[in-house]
Structure 1
Amino acid sequence: MPDPVFIIGLLGAVGLFFLALGGARVRRRPGAALRNGLFGCTSLGLAALLGAIGFNLLTYQRLSAEHPVATLAFEQLADQRFRARLELPEAPARVYELAGDQWQLDARFLKWHTPLVLFGLEPRYRLERLTGRYRTAEDEQYRLRSVHQLTDDAGLDLWTWAERHPAWLPMVDASYGSATYLPMRDGARYEVRATASGLLARPANDIARRAAGDW
Protein backbone atom coordinates (compact mmCIF):
# COMPACT_ATOMS: atom_id res chain seq x y z
CA MET A 1 0.00 0.00 0.00
CA PRO A 2 1.44 3.44 -0.90
CA ASP A 3 2.71 5.49 2.02
CA PRO A 4 -0.04 8.03 2.93
CA VAL A 5 2.60 10.61 3.86
CA PHE A 6 4.12 10.27 0.37
CA ILE A 7 0.72 10.72 -1.29
CA ILE A 8 -0.06 13.82 0.80
CA GLY A 9 3.39 15.27 0.08
CA LEU A 10 3.03 14.57 -3.64
CA LEU A 11 -0.36 16.26 -3.81
CA GLY A 12 1.02 19.26 -1.92
CA ALA A 13 4.03 19.52 -4.25
CA VAL A 14 1.81 19.27 -7.34
CA GLY A 15 -0.48 21.94 -5.95
CA LEU A 16 2.38 24.34 -5.26
CA PHE A 17 3.86 23.68 -8.71
CA PHE A 18 0.64 24.56 -10.52
CA LEU A 19 0.06 27.62 -8.35
CA ALA A 20 3.55 28.85 -9.23
CA LEU A 21 2.95 28.04 -12.89
CA GLY A 22 -0.32 29.95 -12.83
CA GLY A 23 1.41 32.95 -11.25
CA ALA A 24 4.04 32.95 -13.99
CA ARG A 25 1.36 32.85 -16.73
CA VAL A 26 -1.09 35.35 -15.25
CA ARG A 27 -0.01 38.24 -17.54
CA ARG A 28 0.66 36.41 -20.80
CA ARG A 29 -2.00 33.67 -20.63
CA PRO A 30 -4.65 34.56 -18.03
CA GLY A 31 -6.96 31.68 -19.05
CA ALA A 32 -4.24 29.07 -18.60
CA ALA A 33 -3.14 30.77 -15.37
CA LEU A 34 -6.67 30.47 -13.99
CA ARG A 35 -6.83 26.76 -14.84
CA ASN A 36 -3.41 26.17 -13.30
CA GLY A 37 -4.43 28.06 -10.18
CA LEU A 38 -7.68 26.10 -9.79
CA PHE A 39 -5.88 22.80 -10.24
CA GLY A 40 -3.20 23.84 -7.75
CA CYS A 41 -5.76 24.90 -5.15
CA THR A 42 -7.68 21.64 -5.63
CA SER A 43 -4.51 19.58 -5.13
CA LEU A 44 -3.56 21.53 -2.01
CA GLY A 45 -7.10 21.23 -0.64
CA LEU A 46 -7.09 17.49 -1.20
CA ALA A 47 -3.68 17.20 0.48
CA ALA A 48 -4.98 19.17 3.47
CA LEU A 49 -8.09 16.98 3.69
CA LEU A 50 -6.09 13.75 3.57
CA GLY A 51 -3.67 15.16 6.13
CA ALA A 52 -6.51 15.98 8.53
CA ILE A 53 -8.00 12.49 8.09
CA GLY A 54 -4.61 10.87 8.62
CA PHE A 55 -3.93 12.96 11.73
CA ASN A 56 -7.24 11.83 13.25
CA LEU A 57 -6.52 8.23 12.29
CA LEU A 58 -3.34 8.38 14.39
CA THR A 59 -5.56 8.61 17.50
CA TYR A 60 -6.80 5.08 16.72
CA GLN A 61 -4.85 1.84 17.22
CA ARG A 62 -4.59 -0.97 14.67
CA LEU A 63 -6.78 -3.98 15.40
CA SER A 64 -5.25 -7.22 14.15
CA ALA A 65 -7.15 -10.24 15.54
CA GLU A 66 -7.73 -10.33 19.32
CA HIS A 67 -5.08 -8.65 21.43
CA PRO A 68 -4.80 -6.92 24.85
CA VAL A 69 -5.48 -3.19 24.88
CA ALA A 70 -5.59 -2.37 28.60
CA THR A 71 -5.17 -3.71 32.11
CA LEU A 72 -7.13 -2.33 35.07
CA ALA A 73 -6.20 -2.77 38.74
CA PHE A 74 -8.32 -1.47 41.66
CA GLU A 75 -7.71 -0.23 45.20
CA GLN A 76 -10.72 0.52 47.39
CA LEU A 77 -10.65 3.94 49.07
CA ALA A 78 -14.09 3.93 50.72
CA ASP A 79 -17.57 2.53 50.23
CA GLN A 80 -18.26 2.72 46.46
CA ARG A 81 -15.00 4.65 45.93
CA PHE A 82 -12.01 3.12 44.12
CA ARG A 83 -8.67 4.10 42.67
CA ALA A 84 -8.19 2.56 39.22
CA ARG A 85 -4.77 2.06 37.63
CA LEU A 86 -5.11 1.89 33.85
CA GLU A 87 -2.17 0.36 31.99
CA LEU A 88 -2.02 0.73 28.21
CA PRO A 89 0.44 -0.90 25.79
CA GLU A 90 3.53 1.25 25.24
CA ALA A 91 2.17 4.12 27.36
CA PRO A 92 2.62 5.34 30.94
CA ALA A 93 0.11 4.02 33.46
CA ARG A 94 -2.74 6.36 34.40
CA VAL A 95 -4.58 6.59 37.74
CA TYR A 96 -8.23 7.61 38.12
CA GLU A 97 -10.75 7.70 40.95
CA LEU A 98 -14.07 6.01 40.23
CA ALA A 99 -17.35 6.06 42.13
CA GLY A 100 -19.69 3.08 42.04
CA ASP A 101 -19.71 -0.70 42.18
CA GLN A 102 -18.48 -1.47 38.66
CA TRP A 103 -16.10 -0.04 36.08
CA GLN A 104 -16.92 0.49 32.41
CA LEU A 105 -14.52 1.03 29.50
CA ASP A 106 -15.81 2.44 26.19
CA ALA A 107 -14.16 2.38 22.77
CA ARG A 108 -14.78 3.40 19.16
CA PHE A 109 -14.18 1.04 16.25
CA LEU A 110 -13.63 1.77 12.54
CA LYS A 111 -13.75 -0.94 9.87
CA TRP A 112 -12.98 -0.52 6.17
CA HIS A 113 -14.45 -1.82 2.92
CA THR A 114 -12.79 -4.82 1.28
CA PRO A 115 -10.60 -2.96 -1.27
CA LEU A 116 -8.81 -1.06 1.50
CA VAL A 117 -8.49 -4.21 3.59
CA LEU A 118 -6.86 -5.99 0.65
CA PHE A 119 -4.33 -3.15 0.45
CA GLY A 120 -3.41 -3.70 4.10
CA LEU A 121 -5.54 -1.14 6.00
CA GLU A 122 -6.57 -2.91 9.22
CA PRO A 123 -9.60 -2.15 11.42
CA ARG A 124 -8.83 0.37 14.16
CA TYR A 125 -10.07 1.10 17.65
CA ARG A 126 -9.72 3.95 20.13
CA LEU A 127 -10.39 3.85 23.87
CA GLU A 128 -12.79 6.65 24.77
CA ARG A 129 -13.90 6.70 28.41
CA LEU A 130 -13.43 5.03 31.76
CA THR A 131 -16.54 5.31 33.91
CA GLY A 132 -17.73 4.31 37.35
CA ARG A 133 -21.02 2.40 37.26
CA TYR A 134 -23.53 1.56 39.99
CA ARG A 135 -25.22 -1.78 40.45
CA THR A 136 -28.74 -0.33 40.81
CA ALA A 137 -30.53 2.13 38.54
CA GLU A 138 -31.54 4.21 41.58
CA ASP A 139 -27.91 4.74 42.58
CA GLU A 140 -27.07 5.48 38.97
CA GLN A 141 -29.61 8.32 38.99
CA TYR A 142 -28.79 9.93 42.33
CA ARG A 143 -25.26 9.01 43.42
CA LEU A 144 -21.98 10.68 42.44
CA ARG A 145 -20.96 10.01 38.82
CA SER A 146 -17.35 9.66 37.65
CA VAL A 147 -16.37 9.80 33.97
CA HIS A 148 -12.82 10.15 32.59
CA GLN A 149 -12.07 10.98 28.95
CA LEU A 150 -9.15 8.91 27.67
CA THR A 151 -8.59 10.40 24.20
CA ASP A 152 -9.26 13.77 22.59
CA ASP A 153 -10.19 14.18 18.93
CA ALA A 154 -7.42 15.43 16.67
CA GLY A 155 -7.57 16.42 13.03
CA LEU A 156 -10.75 15.67 11.08
CA ASP A 157 -13.11 13.60 13.25
CA LEU A 158 -13.58 10.45 11.14
CA TRP A 159 -16.17 9.03 13.54
CA THR A 160 -18.50 12.03 13.25
CA TRP A 161 -18.09 12.24 9.47
CA ALA A 162 -18.78 8.53 9.04
CA GLU A 163 -21.91 8.80 11.17
CA ARG A 164 -23.33 12.00 9.68
CA HIS A 165 -22.08 11.83 6.08
CA PRO A 166 -21.53 8.18 5.09
CA ALA A 167 -21.49 9.10 1.38
CA TRP A 168 -18.48 11.40 1.97
CA LEU A 169 -16.38 8.59 3.47
CA PRO A 170 -17.22 5.55 1.33
CA MET A 171 -14.10 3.71 2.53
CA VAL A 172 -15.59 3.33 6.04
CA ASP A 173 -17.55 0.08 6.19
CA ALA A 174 -18.69 0.43 9.80
CA SER A 175 -18.20 2.73 12.78
CA TYR A 176 -19.56 1.57 16.09
CA GLY A 177 -19.08 1.85 19.81
CA SER A 178 -18.39 -0.93 22.27
CA ALA A 179 -18.29 -1.08 26.07
CA THR A 180 -17.41 -3.67 28.67
CA TYR A 181 -17.99 -3.57 32.43
CA LEU A 182 -17.24 -5.73 35.47
CA PRO A 183 -17.29 -5.28 39.28
CA MET A 184 -14.72 -3.21 41.14
CA ARG A 185 -13.14 -4.94 44.12
CA ASP A 186 -10.12 -4.12 46.28
CA GLY A 187 -7.12 -5.86 44.71
CA ALA A 188 -8.98 -6.97 41.58
CA ARG A 189 -7.18 -6.93 38.25
CA TYR A 190 -8.73 -7.25 34.79
CA GLU A 191 -7.43 -7.54 31.25
CA VAL A 192 -9.33 -5.92 28.37
CA ARG A 193 -8.96 -7.16 24.81
CA ALA A 194 -10.16 -5.74 21.50
CA THR A 195 -11.82 -8.14 19.07
CA ALA A 196 -13.46 -7.67 15.69
CA SER A 197 -16.83 -7.41 17.45
CA GLY A 198 -15.79 -5.06 20.28
CA LEU A 199 -14.20 -5.01 23.73
CA LEU A 200 -13.90 -8.12 25.89
CA ALA A 201 -12.86 -8.04 29.57
CA ARG A 202 -11.56 -10.98 31.58
CA PRO A 203 -10.52 -11.34 35.26
CA ALA A 204 -6.72 -11.49 35.60
CA ASN A 205 -6.45 -12.68 39.25
CA ASP A 206 -8.43 -14.65 41.83
CA ILE A 207 -9.98 -11.56 43.45
CA ALA A 208 -11.35 -10.42 40.10
CA ARG A 209 -12.60 -13.93 39.31
CA ARG A 210 -14.48 -14.09 42.61
CA ALA A 211 -15.92 -10.59 42.04
CA ALA A 212 -17.08 -11.53 38.55
CA GLY A 213 -18.58 -14.75 39.87
CA ASP A 214 -20.51 -13.01 42.67
CA TRP A 215 -22.21 -10.19 40.78
Structure 2
Amino acid sequence: MDWTALLRLPTTILLILAAIALLFTLVQLVILRHRLDHRHRWAAAGRTVLVLVGMAFTLVLTGLGLTLRGYRLLTDETPVVEIDARILSPQRWELILHWPDGTIRQIPVAGDAWRVEAVVLKWKLPAMLSGLPPLYRLDRVSGRYDDPNEEAHAPRTVTDFREAGAFDLLDLHKQYPRWVPDVDVLFGSGAYLPLVDQGHYTVSLMRTGALVARPDEATEQRIAQPF
Protein backbone atom coordinates (compact mmCIF):
# COMPACT_ATOMS: atom_id res chain seq x y z
CA MET A 1 0.00 0.00 0.00
CA ASP A 2 1.26 3.49 -0.85
CA TRP A 3 0.89 5.05 2.62
CA THR A 4 2.35 8.38 1.47
CA ALA A 5 -0.28 8.81 -1.25
CA LEU A 6 -3.05 7.81 1.16
CA LEU A 7 -1.93 10.21 3.88
CA ARG A 8 -1.68 13.08 1.42
CA LEU A 9 -5.41 12.90 0.74
CA PRO A 10 -7.32 15.74 2.42
CA THR A 11 -9.71 14.81 5.21
CA THR A 12 -12.73 15.67 3.03
CA ILE A 13 -11.68 13.21 0.30
CA LEU A 14 -11.06 10.46 2.86
CA LEU A 15 -14.52 10.97 4.33
CA ILE A 16 -16.11 11.01 0.86
CA LEU A 17 -14.37 7.71 0.09
CA ALA A 18 -15.63 6.38 3.43
CA ALA A 19 -19.19 7.38 2.46
CA ILE A 20 -18.80 5.58 -0.89
CA ALA A 21 -17.51 2.48 0.92
CA LEU A 22 -20.49 2.66 3.30
CA LEU A 23 -22.92 2.93 0.38
CA PHE A 24 -21.26 -0.09 -1.25
CA THR A 25 -21.62 -2.01 2.03
CA LEU A 26 -25.31 -1.16 2.33
CA VAL A 27 -25.97 -2.27 -1.24
CA GLN A 28 -24.22 -5.56 -0.54
CA LEU A 29 -26.32 -6.00 2.61
CA VAL A 30 -29.52 -5.60 0.59
CA ILE A 31 -28.33 -8.14 -1.97
CA LEU A 32 -27.22 -10.48 0.84
CA ARG A 33 -30.69 -10.30 2.39
CA HIS A 34 -32.23 -11.12 -0.98
CA ARG A 35 -29.91 -14.14 -1.42
CA LEU A 36 -30.75 -15.42 2.05
CA ASP A 37 -34.49 -15.04 1.46
CA HIS A 38 -34.14 -17.21 -1.65
CA ARG A 39 -31.77 -19.63 0.12
CA HIS A 40 -28.90 -19.06 -2.29
CA ARG A 41 -26.29 -20.00 0.30
CA TRP A 42 -23.19 -19.93 -1.88
CA ALA A 43 -24.13 -16.59 -3.38
CA ALA A 44 -24.91 -15.30 0.12
CA ALA A 45 -21.46 -16.39 1.34
CA GLY A 46 -19.81 -14.35 -1.43
CA ARG A 47 -21.91 -11.29 -0.55
CA THR A 48 -20.97 -11.71 3.12
CA VAL A 49 -17.31 -11.41 2.20
CA LEU A 50 -18.05 -8.23 0.23
CA VAL A 51 -19.99 -6.79 3.18
CA LEU A 52 -17.06 -7.44 5.53
CA VAL A 53 -14.60 -5.90 3.07
CA GLY A 54 -16.84 -2.85 2.63
CA MET A 55 -17.20 -2.41 6.38
CA ALA A 56 -13.43 -2.67 6.84
CA PHE A 57 -12.75 -0.01 4.20
CA THR A 58 -15.45 2.24 5.71
CA LEU A 59 -13.89 2.03 9.17
CA VAL A 60 -10.32 2.53 7.94
CA LEU A 61 -11.15 5.52 5.75
CA THR A 62 -13.34 7.12 8.41
CA GLY A 63 -10.65 6.60 11.05
CA LEU A 64 -7.95 8.13 8.85
CA GLY A 65 -10.16 11.05 7.92
CA LEU A 66 -10.96 11.90 11.54
CA THR A 67 -7.69 11.12 13.33
CA LEU A 68 -5.35 12.69 10.75
CA ARG A 69 -7.23 15.98 10.76
CA GLY A 70 -4.69 18.74 11.38
CA TYR A 71 -1.66 16.54 10.70
CA ARG A 72 0.68 17.02 7.75
CA LEU A 73 3.42 14.91 6.22
CA LEU A 74 6.97 15.53 7.40
CA THR A 75 9.65 15.47 4.69
CA ASP A 76 13.32 16.52 4.88
CA GLU A 77 12.32 20.10 5.72
CA THR A 78 8.63 20.89 5.62
CA PRO A 79 7.27 24.46 5.65
CA VAL A 80 4.98 24.81 8.67
CA VAL A 81 3.90 28.45 8.71
CA GLU A 82 4.97 31.96 7.70
CA ILE A 83 4.53 34.77 10.21
CA ASP A 84 4.18 38.54 9.72
CA ALA A 85 4.41 40.76 12.83
CA ARG A 86 2.92 44.20 13.46
CA ILE A 87 3.40 46.16 16.68
CA LEU A 88 0.28 47.56 18.38
CA SER A 89 1.88 48.99 21.53
CA PRO A 90 4.96 48.18 23.61
CA GLN A 91 5.11 44.39 24.02
CA ARG A 92 1.76 44.00 22.27
CA TRP A 93 1.72 42.56 18.76
CA GLU A 94 -0.50 41.21 16.04
CA LEU A 95 0.75 38.16 14.16
CA ILE A 96 -0.57 37.10 10.78
CA LEU A 97 0.00 33.39 10.16
CA HIS A 98 0.09 32.00 6.62
CA TRP A 99 -0.17 28.22 6.21
CA PRO A 100 1.16 26.43 3.08
CA ASP A 101 -2.42 25.61 2.01
CA GLY A 102 -3.31 29.32 1.88
CA THR A 103 -5.10 29.53 5.23
CA ILE A 104 -4.55 32.83 7.08
CA ARG A 105 -5.17 33.63 10.74
CA GLN A 106 -4.53 36.70 12.89
CA ILE A 107 -3.64 36.30 16.56
CA PRO A 108 -2.54 38.65 19.41
CA VAL A 109 0.80 38.11 21.14
CA ALA A 110 2.25 39.76 24.25
CA GLY A 111 5.98 39.86 24.93
CA ASP A 112 9.30 40.44 23.21
CA ALA A 113 9.34 37.29 21.08
CA TRP A 114 6.98 34.75 19.60
CA ARG A 115 7.24 31.02 20.16
CA VAL A 116 5.73 28.26 18.02
CA GLU A 117 5.33 24.64 19.11
CA ALA A 118 4.42 21.49 17.20
CA VAL A 119 3.62 17.85 17.99
CA VAL A 120 5.70 15.33 16.02
CA LEU A 121 4.88 11.65 15.58
CA LYS A 122 7.44 9.11 14.36
CA TRP A 123 6.82 5.47 13.50
CA LYS A 124 8.66 2.28 14.36
CA LEU A 125 11.00 0.71 11.83
CA PRO A 126 8.53 -1.69 10.12
CA ALA A 127 6.08 1.14 9.44
CA MET A 128 8.90 3.44 8.25
CA LEU A 129 10.18 0.76 5.86
CA SER A 130 6.68 0.41 4.43
CA GLY A 131 6.82 4.10 3.45
CA LEU A 132 4.78 5.61 6.30
CA PRO A 133 6.23 9.11 6.81
CA PRO A 134 6.48 11.03 10.10
CA LEU A 135 3.59 13.39 10.87
CA TYR A 136 3.33 16.72 12.63
CA ARG A 137 0.67 19.11 13.84
CA LEU A 138 1.05 22.80 14.73
CA ASP A 139 0.09 22.90 18.40
CA ARG A 140 0.29 26.50 19.68
CA VAL A 141 1.82 29.96 19.28
CA SER A 142 2.62 32.02 22.37
CA GLY A 143 4.44 35.16 23.48
CA ARG A 144 7.77 35.15 25.29
CA TYR A 145 9.40 37.85 27.44
CA ASP A 146 13.17 38.45 27.51
CA ASP A 147 13.07 39.24 31.22
CA PRO A 148 12.40 36.08 33.32
CA ASN A 149 10.59 38.21 35.92
CA GLU A 150 8.19 39.50 33.25
CA GLU A 151 7.83 35.96 31.96
CA ALA A 152 6.64 34.96 35.42
CA HIS A 153 4.29 37.88 36.13
CA ALA A 154 3.39 39.79 32.93
CA PRO A 155 0.26 38.97 30.89
CA ARG A 156 0.67 35.84 28.80
CA THR A 157 -0.87 35.00 25.43
CA VAL A 158 -1.24 31.48 24.05
CA THR A 159 -3.19 30.48 20.94
CA ASP A 160 -4.15 26.80 20.80
CA PHE A 161 -4.52 25.35 17.30
CA ARG A 162 -6.24 22.17 18.39
CA GLU A 163 -9.90 22.06 17.46
CA ALA A 164 -12.16 22.09 20.52
CA GLY A 165 -13.63 18.65 21.09
CA ALA A 166 -11.75 17.12 18.15
CA PHE A 167 -10.37 13.59 18.57
CA ASP A 168 -7.09 13.09 16.74
CA LEU A 169 -4.24 10.63 16.45
CA LEU A 170 -2.52 12.00 19.56
CA ASP A 171 -5.61 11.36 21.71
CA LEU A 172 -6.05 7.92 20.14
CA HIS A 173 -2.45 6.93 20.94
CA LYS A 174 -2.68 8.18 24.54
CA GLN A 175 -6.01 6.52 25.35
CA TYR A 176 -5.71 3.36 23.26
CA PRO A 177 -1.98 2.71 22.62
CA ARG A 178 -2.67 -0.79 21.29
CA TRP A 179 -4.76 0.69 18.48
CA VAL A 180 -1.74 2.58 17.15
CA PRO A 181 1.02 0.06 17.94
CA ASP A 182 3.67 1.28 15.48
CA VAL A 183 4.23 4.69 17.09
CA ASP A 184 7.92 4.92 18.01
CA VAL A 185 8.03 8.36 19.61
CA LEU A 186 5.63 11.25 20.13
CA PHE A 187 7.19 14.50 21.25
CA GLY A 188 6.93 18.29 21.16
CA SER A 189 9.26 20.70 19.40
CA GLY A 190 9.48 24.48 19.70
CA ALA A 191 11.33 27.53 18.35
CA TYR A 192 11.19 31.27 19.01
CA LEU A 193 12.53 34.54 17.56
CA PRO A 194 12.49 38.21 18.67
CA LEU A 195 9.59 40.34 17.49
CA VAL A 196 10.18 43.44 15.36
CA ASP A 197 7.63 45.63 13.62
CA GLN A 198 6.99 44.56 10.01
CA GLY A 199 8.97 41.41 10.67
CA HIS A 200 8.57 38.37 8.42
CA TYR A 201 9.50 34.88 9.59
CA THR A 202 9.32 31.33 8.27
CA VAL A 203 9.01 28.19 10.36
CA SER A 204 10.01 24.76 9.05
CA LEU A 205 10.21 21.31 10.58
CA MET A 206 13.21 19.06 9.94
CA ARG A 207 12.75 15.32 9.46
CA THR A 208 14.48 14.88 12.83
CA GLY A 209 11.48 16.64 14.40
CA ALA A 210 13.26 19.92 15.18
CA LEU A 211 11.44 23.17 14.44
CA VAL A 212 13.55 25.80 12.67
CA ALA A 213 12.55 29.49 12.71
CA ARG A 214 14.19 31.97 10.33
CA PRO A 215 13.72 35.72 9.79
CA ASP A 216 14.02 37.13 6.30
CA GLU A 217 16.97 39.41 5.52
CA ALA A 218 15.23 42.70 6.37
CA THR A 219 13.87 41.28 9.61
CA GLU A 220 17.28 39.93 10.56
CA GLN A 221 18.76 43.41 10.12
CA ARG A 222 16.06 44.92 12.35
CA ILE A 223 16.71 42.30 15.02
CA ALA A 224 20.45 43.06 14.91
CA GLN A 225 19.97 46.83 15.28
CA PRO A 226 20.76 48.12 18.80
CA PHE A 227 17.87 49.62 20.75
TM-score interval, smaller chain: 0.7 to 0.9
> Contact 2:110 / 2:155 at 8 angstroms: preserved in 1?
yes
Distance between the aligned counterparts of 2:21 and 2:219, measured in 1? Answer: 56
Question: TM-score by structure 1 length?
Answer: 0.76
What is the number of equivalent residue pairs in this alignment?
214
Question: TM-score by structure 2 length?
Answer: 0.72
Instruction: Could you tell me which runs of 5 or more consecutive residues in structure 1 were left unpaired when the two chains were aligned.
Output: 30-34
Q: Quick check: 1:66 aligned with 2:77? A: yes
- Structure 1 residues 98 and 9: alpha-carbon distance in aligned structure 2, compared to 1, 3 A threshold: closer
Q: Secondary structure at the match of 2:185?
A: strand
Report the CA distance between 1:72 and its aligned residue: 1.5
1:124-203 to structure 2, matched below 5 A, reads: 124-152=135-163, 156-196=167-207, 197-203=209-215
Distance between the aligned counterparts of 2:129 and 2:221, measured in 1? Answer: 40
Q: After alignment, is 172-181 or 98-107 more displaced? A: 172-181
Report the CA distance between 1:65 and its aligned residue: 0.5
| Counterpart AA for 1:194 | L
| Counterpart AA for 1:175 | L
Instruction: Could you tell me which runs of 5 or more consecutive residues in structure 2 were left unpaired when the two chains were aligned.
Output: 7-13, 40-44
1:10-159 to structure 2, matched below 5 A, reads: 12=22, 15-16=25-26, 19-20=29-30, 23-24=33-34, 46-55=56-65, 56-152=67-163, 156-159=167-170
Q: Secondary structure at the match of 1:122?
A: coil
| Counterpart AA for 1:152 | E
Please tell me the root mean square deviation across aligned C-alpha atoms, in Å: 3.8
Q: Secondary structure at the match of 2:163?
A: coil
Report the CA distance between 1:112 and its aligned residue: 2.3
> Contact 1:162 / 1:175 at 8 angstroms: preserved in 2?
no
- Structure 1 residues 41 and 135: alpha-carbon distance in aligned structure 2, compared to 1, 3 A threshold: farther
> Contact 2:115 / 2:143 at 8 angstroms: preserved in 1?
yes
Distance between the aligned counterparts of 2:186 and 2:127, measured in 1? Answer: 15
| Counterpart AA for 1:146 | T
> Contact 2:19 / 2:58 at 8 angstroms: preserved in 1?
no
Which residue number in structure 2 is paired with residue 204 of structure 1?
216
Distance between the aligned counterparts of 2:51 and 2:185, measured in 1? Answer: 31
